[in-house]
Amino acid sequence: MTQTQAAPAARARLLRTVLRSPSALTGGVLVLLVVLCALFAPLLAPFDPVAYNPADRLQGPSLEHPLGTDIYGRDTFSRVLFGARTSLAVAAISITLALLAGGIAGALAGFFRGNVDVVVMRLSDILLAFPAVLLAIALLAFLGGGFWNLTLAIAVVYSAPFARVARASVLRVREEAYVEASHALGNSPWRILFRHVLPNAASPLIVEVSLRLAFAILAEASLSYLGLGTQPPAPSWGQMIADGRQLLETSPWISIGPGLAITLTVLGFNLLGDGLRDLLDPRLRRQ
Amino acid sequence: MLPFLLKRFGLALVSLLGVLVLVFAMVRLVPGDVVTNLIGLEGNVSPERREELRRLFGLDLPLHVQFGQWFGALLQGDLGTSLRTDRPVLTDLALRFPVTLELTLFALLIALAIALPLGVTAAVNRGKTLDYLASLFALVGIAAPSFWLAILFILLFSLKLGWFPPTGYVLFSEDPLGNLRSLFLPALALGMSLAAATTRIVRSSLLEVLSLDYARTARAKGLPERAVVYRHALRNALIPVVTVVGLQVGNLLGGTVIIEQIFGLPGIGRFALEGINLRDYPVVQGAVLLVAGAFVLVNVLVDVLYALIDPRVRFE
């Protein structure tokens, strides 16, 4: 009974606190905006993002084409809207995978310690021994590009940080008195892990998800720029910037629009992550 | 200090060994195998020739033997030969590494030159316009992708203003000033996110120190604010900055790949990308190994440096 009453109250409190943090609010609005653009791209886009339209090629920004057109006459604004789909899909799927793999491994390592801990930590050491983008590039060099390989590569790269964060958080929570109490009551370790430890260890992971989504968007863009990401014709922001590179002197707008989109999206996730950190962990709140 | 050093180097060796195994395994990730892929580029090849190629790569041997041979050669400085040019990979890496290293250090220098004054200014003017402008710079600098900034810089500083060459590399030995000019925009683009992140850290760390007792004492005895900031607070505020910058230097190394590609710099990163496009696996393997090795080494050096600055670290 107490739980059913507490839940809406807690939610309302969370909402109130989020509204109090300007950075969480700004970030949340930006992220929401990008998500809406991605979801409703077919409705919002004034033009077909892939169909060639030679009559309109390389036009500068105008009322009809707010971000200009590319060498095939495609409307850059429409392509940016559809590019949000690629970017968000890769980021969301890869970070979910990284959270599941890294988060579970890290939580088990922190909770059971011993050999599990040693193995998980050494594996994450190895993954962390590469600069992140370089590891993704190397994996794609051998696996080949494409949507799923790209998603998988980013997931592998970012699973190690999740393992670290989950482990540290679980290590802290498992020393709490209520965990000890649950042990004393004779509850099984698995029950303790899922009922008591994980729910209380989750907040650093929530912050980490938001910040890592920002990294994943940047990684997706970089890898697509290098031609290792999703393949044409589906528009992707990184690839659009690469297309514009050749025509920079005459048609700079081709690269400018998608770059702005990346920057705003990453900014949104960063602000949201920073704001959530301040809200969820008052000790880290800035003066 | 000695136990700390031994432990740190031991861990680094374990990491390096893991890196070796992973890089070795990566080539085996190629769908089908390397030989099938190479043949795919060159048309039909008889089964005999295919077997010969497999033997050439040692792919007919068991995995652990392959690894042993590869590792043994590696210890003697043999990273294999390029499948395309027949040149030893190590020779080409040695030619190109100085470019990547110079770019990385230059980017670090630019990042610090921006972040230290900006972070201090922001902290001293806390809550004023200058502070908000610095925060805005930090937020955008972290969010904007380096390769896009690179393109904007080329557009503005090369194509419009003509201050710097848009692409290309000039050897330091031929023309030192031209060398710095050819690397300035790449280093600026590469260092921008580090500059942004460091600005934030300098600001928050200095603010924290300025609220401590000894800063208050310094003020109470009548020191002007400038002296409090520069003579007392700044030095202590820089300790966390060293850690963050140290952790990021390695990422600068990784970021060089895309920046070298944009500016046409003959460094390790572009070498690796050429290798990827030509499916020249030994080249890719060697380049990844070199950068990962340098990354591990940088991280060890940062830890040691940090232990020297802050003795508490050694006893953890």
Give the Cβ contact number of residue A258 at 10 Å.
31
Out of B139, B250, B288, name the one closest to residue A138 (CB).
Answer: B288
**With an 8 Å Cβ cutoff, are B145 and A262 in contact?**
yes
**With an 8 Å Cβ cutoff, are B144 and A264 in contact?**
no
Alpha-carbon distance B316 to B236, whole Å? 20
Q: Tell me what pLDDT residue B111 has.
A: 95
Measure Cα distances from B13 to A22, B3, B10 in Å. 45, 15, 5
Q: Any chain B CB within 8 A of the CB of A18?
A: no
Among A102, A95, A106, smallest CA distance to A152 is for A95
Peptide bond into A233 cis (omega under 30): yes
Out of A126, A259, A264, name the one closest to residue B18 (CB).
Answer: A126
Q: What is the CA radius of gyration of chain A?
A: 22
Among B311, B279, B262, smallest CA distance to B30 is for B279
Question: B267 CB contacts (<8 Å, ≥6 apart)?
Answer: B96, B97, B99, B100, B103, B256, B260
Torsions phi, psi for A83 (to 5 deg)? -60, -30
Q: Any chain A CB within 8 A of the CB of B123?
A: no
**With an 8 Å Cβ cutoff, are B26 and A139 in contact?**
yes
Question: A201 CB contacts (<8 Å, ≥6 apart)?
Answer: A107, A166, A169, A170, A172, A173
Q: Any chain B CB within 8 A of the CB of A146?
A: no
| Sign of torsion over alpha carbons A208, A214, A216, A218 | negative
Residue B14 in tokens = 């374990």
**With an 8 Å Cβ cutoff, are A134 and B296 in contact?**
no
With 0-12 / 13-18 / 19 or more C-beta atoms within 10 angstroms meaning exposed / middle / buried, residue A190 is exposed
**With an 8 Å Cβ cutoff, are A130 and B254 in contact?**
yes
Give pLDDT tens digits for A161-187.
999 999 999 988 888 888 888 888 888
pLDDT at residue B115 is higher than 80? yes
B260 pLDDT band (50/70/90 cuts)? Answer: very high
Alpha-carbon distance A281 to A285, whole Å? 7
Give pLDDT tens digits for A33-83.
999 999 988 888 787 787 777 777 777 788 777 888 877 778 888 899 999
Give pLDDT tens digits for B154-173.
989 888 888 888 888 888 88
Residue with the bigger pLDDT between A287 and B75: it is B75
With 0-12 / 13-18 / 19 or more C-beta atoms within 10 angstroms meaning exposed / middle / buried, residue A277 is buried
Q: Which residue of B has its CA nearest to A266?
A: B143
Contacts of B145 in chain A (CB under 8 A): 218, 221-222, 225, 238, 241, 259, 262-263, 266
**With an 8 Å Cβ cutoff, are B159 and A248 in contact?**
yes
Q: What is the CA radius of gyration of chain B?
A: 24
A1 pLDDT band (50/70/90 cuts)? Answer: very low
| Sign of torsion over alpha carbons A142, A145, A150, A152 | negative
Alpha-carbon distance B203 to B205, whole Å? 6
Residue A250 C-alpha, separation from nearest chain B C-alpha, in angstroms = 10
**pTM across the whole model:** 0.87
Provide the 3-class DSSP secondary structure of residue A194.
helix
Give pLDDT tens digits for A99-157.
999 999 999 999 988 899 999 988 898 888 888 888 898 888 888 888 999 999 999 99
Task: Give me the residues of B, 145-164, that contact A with CB < 8 A.
Answer: 145-148, 151-152, 154-155, 159
Please, what is the average pLDDT of chain B? 84
**With an 8 Å Cβ cutoff, are A143 and B31 in contact?**
yes
Residue A250 in tokens = 């005459």
Residue B185 in tokens = 């925009």
Q: Tell me what pLDDT residue A7 has.
A: 62
Provide the 3-class DSSP secondary structure of residue B164.
coil
Q: Tell me what pLDDT residue B44 has.
A: 65
Contacts of B22 in chain A (CB under 8 A): 126
Residue B96 contacts residue B266 (beta carbons within 8 Å) = yes
| Sign of torsion over alpha carbons B302, A209, A256, A72 | positive
Residue A187 C-alpha, separation from nearest chain B C-alpha, in angstroms = 33
